[in-house]
A and B are shown apart, each in its own frame.
Chain A
Amino acid sequence: DIQMTQSPSSVSASVGDRVTITCRASQGISSWLAWYQQKPGKAPKLLIYAASILQSGVPSRFSGSGSGTDFTLTISSLQPEDFATYYCQQANSFPFTFGPGTKVDIK
């Protein structure tokens, strides 16, 4: 199975900050990577798929990049509604494993 890691595990940031989250796959997954946002008690929400394609309706302050084994999610200017946990997920081969998550909270 492909293992996914994320760093940092948590980050404290202020509104307006630029936040970058890194996701690494244990083997190459081409661009088969998705990013999700989850708020407490809610279902996850798809932000980005195919490593860099913004899901419809997602604000443009979110962006994704990378291919192969190393990927990043960037929030260019953190907004109050962005405080949440973010997960990456590989969709290259089954099982479609998730990363452990990165919690973004208020500094």
Chain B
Amino acid sequence: EVQLVESGGGLVQPGKSLRLSCAASGFTFSRHWMSWVRQAPGKGLEWVAYMNQDGSEKFSVDSVKGRFTISRDNAKNSLYLQMNSLRVEDTAVYHCARTAATGRGLDVWGQGTTVTVSS
């Protein structure tokens, strides 16, 4: 079964750090772009960051640049999001998602891990 499972979320104070992980199974992880997408409570989807198959290219949205770092370990079939200097507005459910081999749609999603930034 093709699956993505996120972990690492939790309650954290503003200014602190958190590292999210996404474990992939059921497909050849190293063949796919991977992304993080978040959804604040009651809000829409926000694309956060992307990394290409071998990790040589990445991109993140302006609101997290300089604070969040996406990375991957193809040997461990895992995607990561290192989140530093967290802000209250980073509170959201964070999903990892696979980009399909054609068309660039996000065709496999994890159920998400919840990050709450609050003092």
Contact = CB atoms under 8 A, between A and B. Distances in A.
Contacts of B112: 43
A14 interface: no
A: interface residue count bin: 20 to 34
Interface string B42-77: 001111001000000001111000000000000000
A91 B44 contact: no
A43 B110 contact: yes
A80 interface: no
A50 B103 contact: yes
Given A43-B95, A46-B105, A55-B105, A98 B62 contact: no
Among A1, A44, A96, max chain B CB count under 10 A is at A96
Interface in B99-113: 100, 102-107, 109-112
Nearest to B109: A43
B116 interface: no
B106 A46 contact: yes
A34 interface: yes
B45 A96 contact: no
A44 B37 CA distance: 10
B44 A101 contact: yes
Interface residues of B, number: 23
A21 B95 CA distance: 25
A50 B100 CA distance: 11
Contact of B59 (A32, A48, A49, A95): A95
A89 B110 contact: no
B53 to A, nearest CB: 16
B44 A53 contact: no
A87 interface: yes
Nearest to A6: B44
A34 B106 contact: yes
Contacts of B47: 89, 95-98
| 9 interchain residue pairs of minimum CB distance | A49-B105, A49-B103, A91-B104, A43-B109, A34-B105, A94-B59, A50-B103, A98-B45, A95-B61
Interface of A: 1, 32, 34, 36, 38, 42-46, 48-50, 53, 55, 87, 89, 91, 94-101
